[in-house]
Structures are given as C-alpha cells and as structure tokens.
C-alpha cells in the first residue's frame, strides 16, 4: 500500500477529504502550529487524555512522535492524521486509527481530539465521517471501535452522529490524567448504516 510510505512528504494517498475538513498525515512542518494549539488547549484536553510527558510540546518530542507514527504506519498498526479546516488550512485537531488487527478480527480503534478554539464546531464529527470510508474501503477492516469517558457527552454525541452504536461499559479501561477510568464502548461495522 502506498499510503504513508513517507510521513515527511505529502502524498496524495495520505490525504482524506471531508466536508469542510481534510485529514493529513502529520509532518515536521506542522510542529509550531500543533504545539501552539496543544498549549492553548492544555486545560481543555487534560481531563480527557493520558498525562502529557513533561517534554511533550518540544521539537525533539514531536520528531520522536513522527518517527513512531511512521513506524506504526509502515507496519500497518496505526494511522495518525491531523485535522485541518479547508477554508484556511488551520490545524483544528487530530484523529488516529490505532490497534489495527488483521486476521479474524479485522478492526481498529479510533481516537480523536479537537483544540479548545475549535471544539464543538463540528470539525471532529466531519473528520470521523471522512475517516470511516477509509477504514472500510481502503484498509478493508470490518469494525471500528471507539471509547469515551462516561461523562464525555460531547464525544458520545460525535460517535452517535457518525453511526456508532453504544456497546457497553469497560471498567478501568484507560489511564486518563493519571487515573484508571471507566469508559463507554462504541463501534460501527462495515455493514452498518452510515449517517
């Protein structure tokens, strides 16, 4: 697959177009905009994410992140994207497909985030809607899973609007902001209706 052969150059296969947004593989040239968005969004994102390393917003850390993304993409285990608004190409958030399983499982896990200035404006919903066909048609997977904290009504709404169905409750699933937290599990299958 030509997708993500090089994470440092824009390849047409590394772009996913959506409604007013596009998803693109992260590049080193994104560092300044990404670091600024994450910094201004720190208080907004902290309750919903794993604890950030102390050097998380540094250029060397970002470079290591890109190397990890490249390795995981090359191995077919994960596909990271940044979400950009079409009108001005502003970075608004990120979307990652991880834990890609082949064989009898044929699934992946979807994660996403929006910077505080862009939250609640529909960008993540549009990005998730755009990435679903990529998963089912390009990666040929059968199922996409996603989970969110019980109290994260905004994330639940995104998943429901995109056709995901709630499947259950997982105790102590992820360590969020330093604490093991329960999550609600969602999934969408290849044959489910697309909203």
CA distance 56 to 41: 13
| CA atoms of 57 and 64, how far apart (whole Å) | 11
Quickly state the pLDDT bin for 13 (edges 50, 70, 90): very low
* 3: in domain: no
Q: Per-residue pLDDT tens for 125-155?
A: 999 999 999 999 999 999 999 999 999 999 9
Please answer whether residues 7 and 28 qualify as being in contact, where contact means their C-beta atoms are separated by less than 8 angstroms. no
The parent domain of residue 148 ranges over: 12-189
pLDDT of residue 194: 75
Question: Would the pTM of this model clear 0.85, i.e. be above it?
Answer: yes
**CATH code of residue 110:** 3.40.630.30
- Is the pLDDT at 11 greater than 50? The verdict is no
The pLDDT, as a whole number, for residue 125 is: 98
Pairing of strands 165-176, 15-17: unpaired
Mean pLDDT, range 89-94, rounded to an integer = 98
Q: In this structure, is residue 178 part of a structural domain?
A: yes
Is the pLDDT confidence value at 23 over 90?
A: yes
What's the pLDDT score for residue 153?
95
pLDDT over threshold 70, residue 5: no
Establish if 195 belongs to a structural domain: no
Domain contains 2? no
The percent of residues in the chain predicted with pLDDT above 90, rounded, is 91
Domains contained in the chain, number: 1
Q: What is the pLDDT averaged over residues 6-28?
A: 76
Confidence of residue 193 (pLDDT cuts 50, 70, 90): confident
Within-domain flag for 148:
yes
Asked if residue 49 belongs to a domain, the reply is: yes
Contact call for residues 107 and 143 (beta carbons, < 8 A): yes
Residue 140 lies in a domain: yes
Query: Tokens at residue 118, please?
Result: 């862009």
Q: Is 126 within the bounds of a domain?
A: yes
Band the pLDDT of 14: cuts 50, 70, 90. Answer: confident
Instruction: Give the Å distances, CA to CA, from 38 to 64, 76, 113, 138, 144.
Output: 17, 27, 10, 30, 26
């Amino acid at each position: 697959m030509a997708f993500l052969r090089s994470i440092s150059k824009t390849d047409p296969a590394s772009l996913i177009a959506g409604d007013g947004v596009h998803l693109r593989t992260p590049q080193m040239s994104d560092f300044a905009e990404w670091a600024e968005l994450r910094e201004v969004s720190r208080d907004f994102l902290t309750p919903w994410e794993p604890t950030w390393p102390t050097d998380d917003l540094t250029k060397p850390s970002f470079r290591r992140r890109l190397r990890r993304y490249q390795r995981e993409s090359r191995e077919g285990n994960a596909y990271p994207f940044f979400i950009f608004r079409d009108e001005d190409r502003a970075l608004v958030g990120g979307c990652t497909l991880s834990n890609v399983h082949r064989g009898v499982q044929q699934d992946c896990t979807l994660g996403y985030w929006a910077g505080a200035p862009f939250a609640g404006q529909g960008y993540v919903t549009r990005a998730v809607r755009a990435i679903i066909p990529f998963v089912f048609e390009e990666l040929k997977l059968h199922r996409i899973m996603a989970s969110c904290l019980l109290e994260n009504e905004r994330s639940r709404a995104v998943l429901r609007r995109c056709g995901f169905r709630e499947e259950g409750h997982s105790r102590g699933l992820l360590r969020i902001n330093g604490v093991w937290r329960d999550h609600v599990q969602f999934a969408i299958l290849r044959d489910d209706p697309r909203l």
